[in-house]
Structure 1
Amino acid sequence: MHELVQRLSLPVKFFLVLTLLGATVSPMSSFADSFSFSGYMKSYALAQDSISIQSDAIDQSTIENITTESNTIENNSVQNQAQSIAGNFQSQNALRLMASYLSSSKGNIEIDYEIQPLYFSNSTMAEYYTKGNLGVIGGTVSSASNQYRYKDFDAVLSDFGSHGVVLQNLDRFNYQYSNYYGDLTIGRQVLSFGSARFTNPTDIFIPFAIQTLNQEYRVGIDAIRYKADVGDFAVIDMGLVIGEDGKKQNSAAFLRGKNSIQGNDIEAIAIILDDAWLLGGGIERSIGDFGFWFEAAYMDWRQNNYVEGNASENNTDGNNSLENITVDNYATNTLPLAGAYTDNYWRSSIGSDYALNEDVIIMIEYHYNGAGSNNVENYTKLATQAPYQKAGVYLYGEHYLIPALTWLASPLVSVSASAFYNISDSSVFLTVSSETSWSDNLYSDFGLYISHGDTLQYNASGANGDYAFGSEFGAYPLSVYASLRYYF
């Protein structure tokens, strides 16, 4: 415990002391008239099934030396038999402390800090998270990325034994000033764009992956943002995103306009990165008893040859991927950057919802992902390209159908279900969850992640062996979770 305290930086220590003092003096989340504390404690118990790996001829010595993204292959069978990644149990916990100071004359200050103690029955999985690489197959933990943060703490606060790790995240730290003309926010804040319900083409700053368990708060990024009302329903929103070390290649600027015209909520946005630009927009409206939305974006990547450090050394073959670039500092969870990235592409989402009655709502959305591919063999390479590293793309296929349903079973119990269906490779990722409210502050959840499709493929004929997707969602493990959430 002493070692853990020593590793906390001075701002974190001060914030924790201040928060604990406020919680002691005022457990009902208010401190004076303008200073408030709140937060939550969450605990997820997650069980994941094993993942089968289809392989060709493989000998004993190869088996002993192969590791996958989330575990060592355990089944020492031989030719043409399926290998597997062992199942595991996880305990994911989170304590989020939120402090705010509100003043009509001086402005507002917001600070949110979160600690996530994680336990994995699989020690290899814990080691993988310790290295800050959270793209592990079946990974359900949301973690901040330094890419769009000027400076930040190490994501890994501490590790304990070979099965545990503690993550930390200073998720909000901003100053807000409002007057007659608009609202100015400076510091770590959330940026979220788009009108679609499930996949937003214009939302490129660290969106949640679909399997993330705790999606209550979007990851904060460092920005200077100004929003102004220019009419009864019209808003102009502009800002500068300041990335790691303030470097141009890690930063961005955006300009967004939103207006409501005759029942149509219309949005247009432009985003400029160092090596790309995005133009997009969307519309929401009702058509009879149906809700309707459409969102689209065009992304243009400048085909330059610059890579931070030395592009000629790291990517001499001139291809559009990051395959030959290594990550020097895992602890910062920062991805490498490249110059020649990918072809330009469109992404779009169109969908509708309908209330069958006051308790049941059905939704369906079609998503086109021009950054993806209809060829499963390209998935591994896609994961290393810039749209997936810098622009918030996380789906590998091109065409998706996403049906969903929500049901208010009782005033205190709700049930929801959704499915991501990759039309190209016929794989499916299905989520089913229920929420129960026990009091104003206490909630519990139960859920399932079910996938269908061709599993991972392993080819032992290469010099070092080679893994490939059989389908996008076929490698996702069957997952069952239960959680308890308390808010204060």
Structure 2
Amino acid sequence: MLNKRLIFALLICTIIPSSWANELVTSGYFKGYLLGQDEIDIQGSLDDLGDDIPDHINGGIQSQNAMRLMINYFSGDINVEMHYEIQPIFSNYDFLTANSGVIGNTLSSATNVYRYKDLETSIFKSDTSFVTLQNLDRFNLQYTAEWGDTTIGRQVVAFGSARFINPTDIFVPFAIQTLNQEYRVGIDAIRSQISLGDFSTLDLGLVVGEDGKKNYNAVFARYQQSVAANDIELIGISLADAYLLGGGIERAIGDFGAWLETAYLHAHGRERDDQAMIDDTTIVTNIDTPLMMQSSTLAEFMQSYWRTSAGIDYAITEEFYVAVEYHFNGAGSDNPDDYLSLSTTAPYQRGGVYLFGKHYLIPSFNYQINALSTLSSSAFINLNDQSTFIAIHMEHSWSDNLYSDLGVYLASGHGLLASNSELQVGSEFGFYPETVYASLRYYF
């Protein structure tokens, strides 16, 4: 009933009389992604595979679609914002059963870890090859005063100075293979952004997680200041079982742009019983969490760690731009045997960490082919296990409202290996499938 009422209300908003046009703004998009992924082989003899591990993970063809309606209502100092998105997804295989592939890894879907209450993730699913997801991604009220803004409700909370990996950004960042990254996933928060002058801002907030539970909540404070062409950011985040202190700086060095961002997370969680962790944990190889271990109990932060990103960019010509970033991930490991178990730990469940190694190099370029077409590429290189993930993307503008994209994901490294009925990861990116996609995007 809630789903039907919400959809009906959104439709009514689109036909409100034009006399409200100066106060009500509606916009949105339609996106369609067609992608195909190769299957992934799992190396090992029949004895090594056993009864629980397949000899491969299926690839396939999938159509990911997104329809997003965005509504803003302005009345004096008040702004009400609402974004609602529906994602119909079709495939040529049954992706609601185990061992059905890794295409789901490219989906942008909501999370309820940092949401007080939420809609059901799916509004329709079949037992074969079709599911429709929904996401109430923004629903907030903002009050604007001379001193700044206060926003209450579902909104974006994102931090960081780095270009690719932001150590201070722990609230639901995108994974590198997500296709639709235009809008960050909204979370539930109360936030005040206070102007302290022409070049400084104080940002204070409370994040309210699932059912208001203590372990799902967070408090943050961020200070931003521009001094002598340096953009400086300092941040502190308090969680139930950890706190994070970090900061970043951006500036020009000659003709180069440069940035540095670092964060230290101090953990003070409680140790869990080893057997309880084993009982709660399962290996999953389906569309929702491909080749990851899942725990039914939310993990606590047990170990402190640093994360740091530093990089430079340079415009070689007006059309050709290059950048490179180094990232250190203290939450990760230099041993691929640890990758699966790491996915059940707090940094990966709640701390915004999604890379499993320790040291990364990330080169990229962006080339403006002509006024309407752009070619870009980036590579994530795990310096510990020597695996690489490469994303190549071309965009063409057909009009102010219509765009198309072509892209490919390539990966190299040691793949998956079964040994004594246990699954082992040879490298971080070695089991990523080759992926080709095309998309069409229309904005209104």
Taking the TM superposition and a 5 Å limit, the aligned residue runs for 1:35-434 are 35-58=24-47, 65-66=51-52, 73=54, 83-105=55-77, 107-123=78-94, 125-127=95-97, 136=102, 139-305=105-271, 315-317=272-274, 322-325=277-280, 336-338=296-298, 341-434=301-394
For 2:9, which of 6, 14, 19 is the aligned residue? 14
Deviation at 1:274, TM superposition (A): 0.7
Residue by residue, what CA displacement relative to the aligned partner does 1:281-324 show, whole Å, maximum 9, x if unpaired? 0000000000000000001111324xxxxxxxxx42289xx543
Q: Secondary structure at the match of 2:76?
A: coil
Aligned equivalent of 1:311: none
Query: Is 2:437 aligned against 1:478?
Result: no
Q: Secondary structure at the match of 1:230?
A: strand
State whether residues 112 and 171 of structure 1, in contact with CA within 8 Å, keep that contact through their aligned partners in structure 2: yes
Deviation at 1:103, TM superposition (A): 1.9
CA distance in 2, matches of 1:145, 1:256: 24
Q: Secondary structure at the match of 1:10?
A: helix
For residue 90 of structure 1, what is the amino acid of its counterpart?
Q
CA distance in 1, matches of 2:238, 2:315: 38
CA distance in 2, matches of 1:450, 1:140: 13
For residue 15 of structure 1, what is the amino acid of its counterpart?
L
Deviation at 1:380, TM superposition (A): 0.7
Deviation at 1:160, TM superposition (A): 2.8
CA distance in 1, matches of 2:206, 2:7: 26
Q: Secondary structure at the match of 1:249?
A: helix
CA distance in 2, matches of 1:484, 1:338: 38
Residue by residue, what CA displacement relative to the aligned partner does 1:7-64 show, whole Å, maximum 9, x if unpaired? 7242343223333x25xx77xxx952110110000000000011121113438xx66x
State whether residues 59 and 103 of structure 2, in contact with CA within 8 Å, keep that contact through their aligned partners in structure 1: no
Percent identical across equivalent pairs? 50
Q: Secondary structure at the match of 1:368?
A: strand
State whether residues 119 and 126 of structure 1, in contact with CA within 8 Å, keep that contact through their aligned partners in structure 2: no
| 5+ residue gaps, structure 1 | 1-5, 68-72, 74-82, 306-314
CA distance in 1, matches of 2:99, 2:199: 45
Aligned equivalent of 2:408: 448
Gap change, CA 1:129 and 1:236, over 3 Å in 2:
farther
Question: How many residue pairs align between the two structures?
Answer: 436
Residue by residue, what CA displacement relative to the aligned partner does 1:399-424 show, whole Å, maximum 9, x if unpaired? 00000000000000001000000000
CA distance in 2, matches of 1:199, 1:248: 27
**Higher strand fraction (1 or 2):** 2
CA distance in 2, matches of 1:55, 1:353: 44
State whether residues 192 and 205 of structure 2, in contact with CA within 8 Å, keep that contact through their aligned partners in structure 1: yes
- TM-score, normalised by the number of residues in structure 1: 0.85
For residue 440 of structure 2, what is the amino acid of its counterpart?
L
Gap change, CA 1:423 and 1:415, over 3 Å in 2:
same
Residue by residue, what CA displacement relative to the aligned partner does 1:323-356 show, whole Å, maximum 9, x if unpaired? 43269xx9x9997545654321000000000000
State whether residues 123 and 133 of structure 2, in contact with CA within 8 Å, keep that contact through their aligned partners in structure 1: yes
Q: Secondary structure at the match of 1:173?
A: strand
State whether residues 296 and 348 of structure 1, in contact with CA within 8 Å, keep that contact through their aligned partners in structure 2: yes
Deviation at 1:242, TM superposition (A): 0.4
Q: Secondary structure at the match of 1:300?
A: strand
For residue 183 of structure 2, what is the amino acid of its counterpart?
Y
State whether residues 299 and 345 of structure 2, in contact with CA within 8 Å, keep that contact through their aligned partners in structure 1: no
State whether residues 137 and 475 of structure 1, in contact with CA within 8 Å, keep that contact through their aligned partners in structure 2: no
Query: Is 2:408 aligned against 1:437?
Result: no
State whether residues 321 and 366 of structure 2, in contact with CA within 8 Å, keep that contact through their aligned partners in structure 1: yes
Gap change, CA 1:35 and 1:340, over 3 Å in 2:
closer
For residue 316 of structure 1, what is the amino acid of its counterpart?
D
Deviation at 1:136, TM superposition (A): 4.9
- TM-score, normalised by the number of residues in structure 2: 0.93
CA distance in 2, matches of 1:182, 1:336: 41
Residue by residue, what CA displacement relative to the aligned partner does 1:50-108 show, whole Å, maximum 9, x if unpaired? 1121113438xx66x435xxxxx3xxxxxxxxx32222001000000011101224x00
CA distance in 2, matches of 1:128, 1:18: 40
Q: Secondary structure at the match of 2:314?
A: strand
Aligned equivalent of 1:309: none
CA distance in 2, matches of 1:128, 1:169: 24
CA distance in 1, matches of 2:242, 2:275: 18
Q: Secondary structure at the match of 1:393?
A: coil
Residue by residue, what CA displacement relative to the aligned partner does 1:118-148 show, whole Å, maximum 9, x if unpaired? 112121x244699xxxx95761001111110
CA distance in 2, matches of 1:363, 1:168: 36
State whether residues 234 and 248 of structure 2, in contact with CA within 8 Å, keep that contact through their aligned partners in structure 1: yes
Q: Secondary structure at the match of 2:197?
A: coil
RMSD of equivalent CA atoms: 2.4
For residue 486 of structure 1, what is the amino acid of its counterpart?
Y
Gap change, CA 1:264 and 1:303, over 3 Å in 2:
same
Gap change, CA 1:385 and 1:17, over 3 Å in 2:
same
For residue 372 of structure 2, what is the amino acid of its counterpart?
L
CA distance in 2, matches of 1:240, 1:324: 33
CA distance in 2, matches of 1:243, 1:129: 31
CA distance in 2, matches of 1:324, 1:279: 34
